Structure 1
Amino acid sequence: MAPQRNIGAGAEAELPEYAGHYRLESCLGSGGMGVVHLARSTSGMRLAVKVVHAEFARDPEFRGRFRQEVAAARRVSGAFTAPVVDADPEAERPWMATLFIPGPTLADHVKRNGPMAPGQLRRLMAGLAEALRDIHRVGVVHRDLKPSNVLLAEDGPKVIDFGISRPKDSELRTETGKLIGTPPFMAPEQFRRPREVGPAADVFALGSVMVHAATGRGPFDSDSPYVVAYQVVHDEPDLTGVPENLAPLVLRCLAKEPEDRPTPDELMRKLRSVAASYDTQAFIPAQRPGKEGPGGSAGTFPGAGARADGGAGADAGADSRGGSGAGAGAEAGNDSGAVAAAEAGQASGAVSEAEAVSEAEAGGDSVAGTGGDAGSVPAGRGGGRKGARRKALWGAGALVVAAGAVFGSVQMFGTTQSEPKDPATRAAAAQVRSWAVRPLDDADGMPQCSYGAGKLLCAQSRWIYALDPANGTLLWRHEVPEALTNRPPVLSGGLVQPLTRQQGRLSGLDPASGKARWEREPSAYDAVTVAGGMLLLTGGDGKVTGVDGASGETRWSRRIAGHAAPFFVSFDRDDGDTSAYAATALDDGYTRVTAVDPGTGEVRWAARLRGALKPVGSAGGSVFFLEGDTSSGTTKAVVRYTPGTRAYRRVALPVPRLDAQASVHGDVVHVLAGGGSLEAVDMSAGRELWHLETAVSRGSVPAADDAHVFVTAADGRLLAVGARDGRLVGQTPPRMSADPGTVASALPQPVVHAGQVFAAAPDGTVFAVDGRDPIGWGA
């Protein structure tokens, strides 16, 4: 039977027979932008397949939004979501298939059974906190967490429907004057500052969802979305009926200001301290007599069935539950899906701006200013709260060069390869001492370390400390008033520079003693980058100030032409010279890159380069970039630009990579992507040298020497891969945190120095191994 092509209004009117290789059996739900079907694969596996309405499939802008959603859903596929099995956003009728999960939505559960018991509420809150932790750690903000987007599966809640979710580094933005979300579950900033919505908005929504689960209503209730919007922004929430031991935590989630809300990790810690034990009862009660969910699945509510992560950017509010009568927006008092505050009841998908950078082309065309050269390995930072900054550096607002993006769970399977060593090599390797220490017992998180002034300099929580590289002895430690960034401390002007998350006090520490040589209360600034002997501060007005790292004195202040809110990265070079690079994505598919002299603020060279580019390193007078596809969030090529000759070389990756990080060694760029794909790209030869699937789904920025490439895994293992052939040659044992709920927000890049490799682990350990002989690491 040929697929049906008509585009009538009813779901059955546009039911095709297949989506890709998956046979569509019945309709689970329908929304304004697509239909979700129960489907089966060739092997018989049940899936939920969302197929976009034909009228929207003809809209190029919508297809871009759908690709963005597929990318977001794939990034978050895991234990707390409906995993994406397959998708084809380029099909005549775009579709996405996720695993079918039996179970009702939270909205259906509350509607049919009333408020949840206290034990189930605690379990629900813990499960949602875990889900948000996993979603946020891969850089995605859901933006529409609500009861109809929470599936109550037997093994815990699943967060679904990423139709309006957005990676934090996405170039797809909300149009001016349009809000996206469901008013009773939207955070105040979604009404006030929709362009600045971050992970804290999902925590606010979690608080609203918990009130609904505990009471059957929301913390802000009205028949009018306009009134709800006013209440969310101005009024205190109504927590009547929320259990006393959970109410304070729910109230914190519903704080008006994002910075006052707890993180998902903090929520999980607080929930463990709740006196009552967790209720281990499954969410799904016994099946009612004589009824079954879709597909005859026992243990589900009649008519509730299952819902999978449908969402095609397509259908923010589309309900894809199975069974009859399962409509969208079952939460009390609101039958709309994603509702714009300006138009009640209207489902609103993701809306993009024209500022997204178009796909870059092969080849290269640049208009350079004065020739110059570039530098070598990074001390960049992420950040940036303003809209203009979000366009900078491939739409990421801030470039994180060393302490990378987050991926998924970690476990590696495979065998360790061995290679012969001659006696002379083994004797030389024996001179390098291995050690492992846990320097601080009173600090959370993974240490972030660098090498400088003959010491291993580390940042952890609110501490800067120095270790002896020979044996790990703690030489000194210095506490700072605010939490430090997820970047290692570096030397500037001969002093150690602590960089805090809140952009507070600046200081320079003596590397010999850890005592402050100078302190400075800065004027307001949004980002700081260490570049050679200078600190570069970018203010909210776009002006850049150069501060002497040795004295803390201001040396210059100016704007950088072509960059409204420049964020810099810097690569130190062997010859001692340094350049700071600002990159801003342009609307025409190009990136403006400017190299600045950190000491004076003078522009050394500027170029307009093809593609949405992110600088990752420099060597031999060239600067290296990853080229991104802003519509899918993937990395598709590596680019080398040599300002002295204006030569531009682009090498396409065999497969576009999600969550890619990279470092440069010589003329080879090592790229690690989400899912553990590690590849070496030789820019001189213009080809990929090798490719290895490490199975480490979350890893650090690679570090390399002439013989090996090193990567830190999220379970604390250090992996060594042969630089010439891409074989795994060694790995250290895992060093997991004692707290299973702890997830490192950034994994430290290994430090390679004089034959030693220094790494850190989630249990707070810093360790050193012989980088020349990885074969014996696991012994």
Structure 2
Amino acid sequence: MPPLRSTGPVPEAEHPEYAGRYRLDAYLGSGGMGVVRLATSDSGLRLAVKVVHVEHAADPEFRARFRQEVNAARRVSGAFTAPVVDADPEAARPWMATLFIDGPTLSERVKRNGPLSAAELRRLGAGLAEALRDIHRAGVVHRDLKPSNVLLAADGPKVIDFGISRPADSDLRTETGKLIGTPPFMAPEQFQRPRDVGPAADVFAMGAVLVHAATGRGPFDSNSPYIVAYQVVHNEPDLAGVPEDLAPLLRRCLAKDPAARPTPDELMSALRAPEGHIPAQRGPVDGAVTAPVGPVGPVAREGVRRRRSPLVWVAALTAVAAAVVGGVVAVQGFGGDPSNGRRTSAEEAFRPWSVTLGGDRPPLCAAADAALYCSAPGVKAARLGLADGVRAWSVPSAGPAAPDAEATLVPAGGLLHAVGPGTASGGGARLEALDPESGAVRWGLDLGAYAQVLHSGDAALVVLADGRVRALDATTGTERWTKRPAARGAQWVAGGGVLFAASVAVDGSSTLVSAVDPAGGGVLWQKRVKGSLSPVQAVDGALVLLSADKDMYTDAVVRLDTADRGVRRVPLTAPADQAQAVVDGDVVYVVGSGGSLAAVGVGAGGAERWRLETGAARVSRPVVSEGRVFLTAGDGRLLVVDAGRGVLVGQTDPRMAGGRHTFAPLLPAPVVAGGRVYAAAPDGSVFGVDAGGW
């Protein structure tokens, strides 16, 4: 979603305080259909939230268009778009939240700095071609690709604004209603046969966008949209100023006949510069080898790549050659055999496994009572065996087809607490306590909108939108107390038998940290700490928080001693965008949206100990166990990092459902239990591997 700009005032009614559970902050701008505001998810993701204008919310036609936009954006969420995190097109004020992309639009970039260089133009073209390939693979035609719908992010261009037809965009009409698109970037068939518009129309638009990027104007230029429409249909494009080596390719993109235009794949090949301007897709880590594994369940085999020294490479190649000569290839177990062949019966009983629960998002899992509990698209919860992944029971979901950012699974009070979509007409979330042996619902509670659920001991604590906290018995659901111990909008965590609330001052200069007794809701103590802080985890007599700068980038880790209230601030060597973190003793592992993982010591003499570029554009919250840091990458890989040295020691193969699903809005953290690690992937699978075999 673009960081829209607006040159005029916006009515106060256009500033709702919440959209779903998200508190809306800075105003980013407005378009013909809605207002866009900045927000932050519970996990720290910066979001751009579009809320439909008041006057359009009551219009069935606009609601239908907004639903279409949400559906299209969800289908194409990938590396080249602004991924949809959450949405509610049926709300009183329909809204959609996407990841906030920090970068100017192509239109702004050209207006501010002038046309792009030839190298920049090739990089932009290659990125747009790859984006169109993924969009079209999802069965979507954008139909409104233009410079203002291309964001120039640090990791490449992002295509935004799917399915929107703004009433103020164009005065042109067809017999069946408004014309879809923006005239200077529309293909001839969009004017002549709007119902027959296909993927080739996006290629035409891409050609026009690249001409604009190269020259500062379009290939068809006029102040009148009617004249532009005539030029698009009848005239040849004006390519003056376009680099000579790119002009023939752009002329093909702008062909009147859709069949004469190149495909996105052809464009990608043509725009790939031999000098290396367009980086190739990242392959395996240097010095890595992929080792197959025997059958691991009903889906597929799981490969593992491990760093090996040159001597190991020689030994491995020699062994393979000998095996081929002998006519037999031996398959080594997952991650090797550190015991040199001596295994216990329990180790022999466990083999890597994989099962598919369904849907197009990674399942969300938690471990307890020698079982793995997971939710997935269409599945409220399922119980899987830790050793083999066999499903003991499964409860279908009556709500949305996939878990979202609000979904949680937490073992508590001898039951499994599942937070999912609400059943009330007003929407919101619902907390249900399930029997771990059967999946039967023991008790449930509609939470309404904006609620957050925490667990401490045998209590489930519901933080409501107005700041009140309701404490429930985790086993029976009986209410124990209701109080308002902290300011509205505070961020909460639980740990060490205490609740902690962090309330950031309006100007962002300080944060009030409150320690709350979960038994009665009383405030134990308060401490005001400098900076805009969000709590991460309470452990070992300390509360760890992340500090954000004025641009909402995480620039430091803060340790607050819960005994003497002492504060230690450890700066990061590089700021992290949309940071997530986990605490292990006196070390905090922080990872940003670009996949840069840092180990930060917060004890005496605290400092950043190491930093590793994982090579993954998006990763989950890290998990630490037995000297290893585990993360899930956006393509379904499980990444394993040596916690002491900061070295990538292994990774599994990608799991992308054959390329059908290229993005997962929610990346659940891996689960470690009983010496094994369990992870989920965008193809809807859950898989288990040996946590210590790396």
Same structural fold, with TM-score higher than 0.5 when normalized by the shorter chain: yes
Residue in structure 2 matching 1:135, options 72, 79, 82: 82
- Counterpart CA distance in 1 for 2:576 and 2:341 is 37
* Aligned position for 2:665: 745
* Aligned position for 2:595: 676
1:74-85 equivalence runs, <5 A = none
* Aligned position for 2:579: 660
Calculate the aligned-residue CA RMSD, in Å.
Answer: 4.9
Q: CA deviation at 1:489?
A: 0.6
1:100-115 equivalence runs, <5 A = none
Residue in structure 2 matching 1:509, options 429, 434, 445: 434
* Aligned position for 1:730: 650
The answer (yes or no) to whether the contact 1:544–1:557 under 8 Å persists in 2 is: yes
* Aligned position for 2:204: 283
For residues 122-159 of structure 1, what are the alpha-carbon distances to aligned partners after superposition, in whole Å with 9 as ceiling and x for unaligned?
Answer: 9xx89996689722457127999999999996835866
SS, match of residue 306 in structure 1: helix
Query: 1:453 is aligned with what amino acid?
Result: D
- Counterpart CA distance in 2 for 1:520 and 1:325 is 59
- Counterpart CA distance in 1 for 2:175 and 2:216 is 19
Alpha carbons of structure 1 residues 490 and 560: separation in structure 2 relative to 1, 3 Å: same
Q: 2:461 matched to 1:536?
A: yes
The answer (yes or no) to whether the contact 1:145–1:206 under 8 Å persists in 2 is: no
The answer (yes or no) to whether the contact 2:79–2:662 under 8 Å persists in 1 is: no
SS, match of residue 547 in structure 2: strand
* Aligned position for 1:470: 387
Q: 2:361 matched to 1:445?
A: yes
* Aligned position for 1:417: 307
- Counterpart CA distance in 2 for 1:128 and 1:504 is 23
1:254-653 equivalence runs, <5 A = 278-279=199-200, 282-283=203-204, 305-307=211-213, 321-322=216-217, 413-414=285-286, 415=288, 416-418=306-308, 423=339, 427=343, 430-431=347-348, 433-441=350-358, 443-463=359-379, 464-483=381-400, 484-486=403-405, 487-501=407-421, 502-522=427-447, 524-532=448-456, 533-561=458-486, 563-571=487-495, 573=496, 577-587=497-507, 589-631=509-551, 633-653=552-572
The answer (yes or no) to whether the contact 1:758–1:768 under 8 Å persists in 2 is: yes
Q: CA deviation at 1:206?
A: 5.4
Query: 1:674 is aligned with what amino acid?
Result: S
- Counterpart CA distance in 1 for 2:146 and 2:220 is 21
Q: 2:626 matched to 1:706?
A: yes
SS, match of residue 716 in structure 1: coil
- Counterpart CA distance in 1 for 2:176 and 2:211 is 22
**TM-score of the two chains, using structure 2 as the length reference:** 0.58
Q: CA deviation at 1:599?
A: 3.3
- Counterpart CA distance in 1 for 2:626 and 2:670 is 15
- Counterpart CA distance in 2 for 1:672 and 1:525 is 29
1:49-64 equivalence runs, <5 A = none
The answer (yes or no) to whether the contact 2:493–2:538 under 8 Å persists in 1 is: no
- Counterpart CA distance in 2 for 1:411 and 1:220 is 44
- Counterpart CA distance in 2 for 1:578 and 1:709 is 26
- Counterpart CA distance in 1 for 2:195 and 2:199 is 15
- Counterpart CA distance in 1 for 2:6 and 2:357 is 54
Q: CA deviation at 1:514?
A: 0.8
Identify which range, 424-433 or 743-752, moves more after superposition. Answer: 424-433
1:141-160 equivalence runs, <5 A = 155=129, 156=132, 160=147
- Counterpart CA distance in 1 for 2:224 and 2:74 is 21
The answer (yes or no) to whether the contact 1:435–1:472 under 8 Å persists in 2 is: no
SS, match of residue 307 in structure 1: helix
Q: CA deviation at 1:510?
A: 0.7
- Counterpart CA distance in 2 for 1:537 and 1:610 is 28
Alpha carbons of structure 1 residues 662 and 126: separation in structure 2 relative to 1, 3 Å: closer
Alpha carbons of structure 1 residues 556 and 213: separation in structure 2 relative to 1, 3 Å: farther
Q: CA deviation at 1:687?
A: 1.2
- Counterpart CA distance in 1 for 2:74 and 2:153 is 21
Unaligned runs of 5+ in 2: 8-25, 28-36, 47-68, 85-97, 111-120, 133-143, 181-189, 229-280, 289-305, 313-336, 422-426
- Counterpart CA distance in 2 for 1:127 and 1:496 is 29
SS, match of residue 692 in structure 1: strand
Query: 2:216 is aligned with what amino acid?
Result: R
Alpha carbons of structure 1 residues 733 and 32: separation in structure 2 relative to 1, 3 Å: closer
For residues 399-427 of structure 1, what are the alpha-carbon distances to aligned partners after superposition, in whole Å with 9 as ceiling and x for unaligned?
Answer: xxxxxxxxxx9876433424998647964
The answer (yes or no) to whether the contact 2:494–2:538 under 8 Å persists in 1 is: no
Identify which range, 413-422 or 432-441, moves more after superposition. Answer: 413-422
Q: CA deviation at 1:478?
A: 1.5
Residue in structure 2 matching 1:758, options 675, 678, 681: 678
- Counterpart CA distance in 1 for 2:506 and 2:212 is 43
Unaligned runs of 5+ in 1: 1-30, 34-60, 63-68, 77-121, 168-198, 222-238, 247-276, 286-298, 309-319, 335-408, 775-779
SS, match of residue 489 in structure 1: strand
The answer (yes or no) to whether the contact 2:431–2:444 under 8 Å persists in 1 is: yes
Q: CA deviation at 1:217?
A: 12
For residues 359-399 of structure 1, what are the alpha-carbon distances to aligned partners after superposition, in whole Å with 9 as ceiling and x for unaligned?
Answer: xxxxxxxxxxxxxxxxxxxxxxxxxxxxxxxxxxxxxxxxx
The answer (yes or no) to whether the contact 2:502–2:511 under 8 Å persists in 1 is: no
Q: CA deviation at 1:744?
A: 0.8
SS, match of residue 82 in structure 2: helix
Q: CA deviation at 1:589?
A: 0.6
For residues 291-331 of structure 1, what are the alpha-carbon distances to aligned partners after superposition, in whole Å with 9 as ceiling and x for unaligned?
Answer: xxxxxxxx769xx93238xxxxxxxxxxx92479969x986
Query: 1:734 is aligned with what amino acid?
Result: P
SS, match of residue 283 in structure 1: helix
Query: 1:636 is aligned with what amino acid?
Result: D
Query: 1:641 is aligned with what amino acid?
Result: L
Query: 1:451 is aligned with what amino acid?
Result: A
Q: CA deviation at 1:673?
A: 1.5
For residues 249-274 of structure 1, what are the alpha-carbon distances to aligned partners after superposition, in whole Å with 9 as ceiling and x for unaligned?
Answer: xxxxxxxxxxxxxxxxxxxxxxxxxx
- Counterpart CA distance in 2 for 1:306 and 1:712 is 39
The answer (yes or no) to whether the contact 2:601–2:609 under 8 Å persists in 1 is: yes
1:94-243 equivalence runs, <5 A = 134-136=81-83, 139-140=99-100, 155=129, 156=132, 160-161=147-148, 202-203=161-162, 205=164, 219=178, 243=194
**TM-score of the two chains, using structure 1 as the length reference:** 0.52
For residues 688-742 of structure 1, what are the alpha-carbon distances to aligned partners after superposition, in whole Å with 9 as ceiling and x for unaligned?
Answer: 2211111111111111113211111111111111111111111111111245245
Highest RCO, 1 vs 2 (Cα 8 Å, sep ≥ 6): 1
Alpha carbons of structure 1 residues 466 and 284: separation in structure 2 relative to 1, 3 Å: closer
Q: CA deviation at 1:610?
A: 1.1
SS, match of residue 437 in structure 2: coil
Q: CA deviation at 1:604?
A: 2.7
